[in-house]
Structure 1
């Protein structure tokens, strides 16, 4: 595995993914750097079959580890209402340009972690069910059912209809 190539290809994608997961730009930057630091220090990287899936799994595990350490992950969303931190937005212009994106970003933070993650993969990154299954290690049925429940929850939060595709 060529680390420099992997870093150049995946850094921004991992940052955006982590940013959606944690809802905090500074924390996302730190966890993204930690993701690539761990990959750099890992041994046996030549045995990795799919670099992108491996990078996602490292990033995902760091996000979940962070919340476990902070004792914020219980059974439902990452944070309780009394623990909500001020929401800052990704500095990219595309997120600030439309109020709909801001509403979607805030609504995503109210979903269960797995629901949020599946919607990021399926709807935002437009990954296939198979790709999502490979990254998360879940069955296709679990991904489809979780996506459906997440979309229904988003509909409740945002007050509109959703697309089942």
Structure 2
């Protein structure tokens, strides 16, 4: 089977990018995580994201590009850790006989991450109104009073959030 010269060029550029920037990126991420194992994982994930794009030879500012991708991964890492910690605290308060299996806990955590990602695509006030309604069980008027919004605005935000969630679900957001 003949080798594709384009893939060889991409491979060489990727190899060079990895060799020239891996140690720097690992150190940069480790300072933000203070954990060598997670830093190693996120460093690899950064390079995998770049490799998947297959446009490695178009990168003009490698450090800036790597840092941008790594920042997003570090941010996601902390969001996931916070979500996981909140879920584990919730589980610890539940009677032992109601605790889901380890497999179900994993599935629930993945679902919570998907919901969190979905909610993060909403504008800030819309997300806040939606969470106050759905998680805290507050009535629309109560939300309006607390956020100094009109009742019509709260209703509009809720409609926007529901439509947004519906559209994303229809587009297989959770798959």
Instruction: Tell me the TM-score normalized by structure 1.
Output: 0.42
Greater gyration radius: 2
Higher relative contact order (CA 8 A, sep 6+): 1
